[in-house]
Structure 1
Amino acid sequence: MAKTGEGVIEQIRVLLGVRRSAIKARVAVIRQIKSMLITAPEAIRSRWEGLNERCLVESLALTRPGPATGSVITATGHALRRLARRHQYLTVEITELEDELRILVGRAAPAMIARKGYGVITTATLLVTAGANPERLRSEASFAALCGASPIPASSGKTNRYRLNRGGDRQANWALHQIALVRLSNDERTRGYAARLRANGKSKKDVLRCLKRAIAREAFHLIVHPEPLPATEDLRDLRHQRGATLAQAAMSIGAEPTRLSELERGKRPNAELATAYRAWLTAA
């Protein structure tokens, strides 16, 4: 069965494509700004050196260099201001696209976006790869192969090993890689698993390959056989009944107050955090 281009997944696909092109355009703009500053007149070059990217763009966008036809300095100033304002416009566009994608992803795969490590863009990318009819995928192994995360035998002589798969959907492979990196940085279970692999002689690349394969397995089941999310609409009332502030609750379970606020309002679901939060709120 072929992939279909219908429904919410198709909406995600077209918006994701626009965001991708906007990201590329914004990268091109900041590169052009920095290149132009290198060859700019000394007065301009010395004025803007040492600023980080955000401050540089904001400052250049507010300049008033005078008539562009006046001199090289004013022409360069105009060019830099236009580039900075283009960068700001693209940033606003990217933010708006991500907000729209968050709504669509929450509608299409609430169980996936609620898992640790799955962001809006990585989840959207995996959903587009699976398509609107993921039941056409016969197994989690076929989805892993589609994402380029299936192991490829690379044995030689007495050495038995596997290598990274360079095939499959490279955007989906990138999404798995990002999820793996996030989990390696803040998930104890993932760190423990990686430590066991390294203790068994696995290289860093092999560890990432194994992690991506495991995440592909998890993602397949989250897409094809999603589990219901834990309820969150009553968490705020439970906290009020307990007489606790967001700061107190966050400190007790090791989370950020803003993250708990988003969870209570249903803005950013997180199954693991919701379970831990409810357990603390209902503890005697």
Structure 2
Amino acid sequence: MVMIGVDAHKRTHTLVAVDEIGRKLAERTVQATSDGHLAALQWAGQWTAVSFAVEDCRHMTRRLEQDLLRAGLPVVRVHTRFMATARRAGRQPGKSDPIDALAAAHAALREPDLPVAMLDGPARQVKLLSDYRHDLVTERTKVINRLRWHLHELDPELTIPPRGLRSYRTMDAVAHRLNSFEGTVARIAGDLLDRCQELTRQVNQLERELRDLVQALAPSLLEVPGCGVLSAAALIGETATASRFRSKDAYARFTGTAPIPVWSGNTTKVRLNRGGNRILNNALHTIAVTQTRSNGPGKDYYDKLTARGKTRKEALRLLRRRLSDVVFRALLTDERARAQPAPAALQAAA
């Protein structure tokens, strides 16, 4: 088998082919266009069994991945951390496109449980909307912070609740209060308030769209205690199809909930995994914290761990690891349900 590592950029992709023991066979650079991807496929055709390993930066590699998958070639995604490790272990010092492509190939040979790329599905739409909503929320926070400084300058006695400027009622009251002021500061504050209202409207609209999508795509995931619409959207979008992972343990490594062994001798120890997908890890942490605040299996498991002497942080880490398996099973259940054909009666009615 030949593994082809890819270092992707906006204008060009560099490909390096290695054999099953990591010896470099050939190198090629193609344009980051459909014609360039076709040239890469023709170049790879000189070997019988070929797999591709691309750096996990889907904004750069998405079109290439889609063309490779439509051609029937397997593609795995290599985390940048694995590539850095492979570069440091390489004989050739430095950093260049061929070195990075070779590092991707070597990392793919060394790591057997890398996530497999798949054709875009409904999870892609969820991710785009979720990321766009996050960007708008971040922008709204910046606008609110600037607005609060101007409001404090205009009226130091004006009191606004910590999250009040997310409420239309509070924003209407502030707009009415701004009508009594004149000058540049009041004008800027009015513009910022208008922008805040527009951003809030967009954020709420996106959340409604995400709610409809998540309810249709992942009803089993929403049944997990503590998993709301936004957490479910993050899990669906970042997972990008659970079936591309070989096992729940591989998924736990991807989410950063699998602990890292750090022991030698007779004492077995592990430490916190700071790698993995941090968006997934944050969503699992939100679910874990929510479960500890209400009755249920998560709360019982958390209390049992703390009773055994675990600290709050340690108990939450162990609960996140368990929730990773629960989420993985729920996502697989929903994906299999969507893959099943509709009953004949429903098809006839349609």
Give TM-score scaled by structure 2 length: 0.57
- Give the 5 Å matches for 1:180-219: 180-219=288-327
Q: Is the 8 A contact 2:118 2:244 kept in 1?
A: no
Instruction: Return 5+ residue gaps in structure 1 as ranges.
Output: 68-72, 229-284
Structure possessing the higher relative contact order (Cα contacts under 8 Å, 6 or more residues apart): 1
Q: Secondary structure at the match of 1:178?
A: helix
Residue 160 of structure 1: how far off its partner (Å) = 3.7
Q: Is the 8 A contact 1:163 1:206 kept in 2?
A: no
Q: Is the 8 A contact 2:150 2:186 kept in 1?
A: no
1:25 maps to which of 111, 130, 139: 139
Instruction: Return 5+ residue gaps in structure 2 as ranges.
Output: 1-74, 76-115, 338-350
Larger fraction in helix: 1
Q: Which has the larger radius of gyration?
A: 2
| Partner Cα distance (1:155, 1:34) in 2 | 51
Structure 2 residue aligned with 1:129: 238
Q: Is the 8 A contact 2:124 2:237 kept in 1?
A: yes
Larger fraction in strand: 2
Q: Is the 8 A contact 2:136 2:203 kept in 1?
A: yes
1:104 maps to which of 213, 223, 232: 213
Q: Secondary structure at the match of 1:4?
A: coil
| Partner Cα distance (2:304, 2:118) in 1 | 41
| Partner Cα distance (2:287, 2:253) in 1 | 17
Give TM-score scaled by structure 1 length: 0.70
| Partner Cα distance (2:180, 2:304) in 1 | 63
Q: Is the 8 A contact 1:65 1:78 kept in 2?
A: no
Q: Kindly provide the CA deviation profile for residues 205-247 of structure 1, in whole angstroms up to 9, marking residues without a partner as x.
A: 111110100000000011113497xxxxxxxxxxxxxxxxxxx
Q: Share of identical aligned residues, percent?
A: 29
Q: Aligned-pair RMSD on alpha carbons?
A: 2.3
Structure 2 residue aligned with 1:94: 203
- Give the 5 Å matches for 1:66-77: 73-77=182-186
Q: Secondary structure at the match of 2:310?
A: coil
Residue 110 of structure 1: how far off its partner (Å) = 1.2
Moved over 4 A (4+): 156-159
Whether 1:14 aligns to 2:14 is no
Q: Is the 8 A contact 1:63 1:81 kept in 2?
A: no
Q: Secondary structure at the match of 1:121?
A: helix
| 1:224 partner letter | L
- Give the 5 Å matches for 1:149-228: 149-155=257-263, 160-226=268-334
| Partner Cα distance (1:129, 1:81) in 2 | 37
| Partner Cα distance (1:155, 1:31) in 2 | 46
Residue 45 of structure 1: how far off its partner (Å) = 2.3
Q: Kindly provide the CA deviation profile for residues 165-217 of structure 1, in whole angstroms up to 9, marking residues without a partner as x.
A: 11011000000000001111113322221121112221111111101000000
Number of aligned positions between the proteins = 217
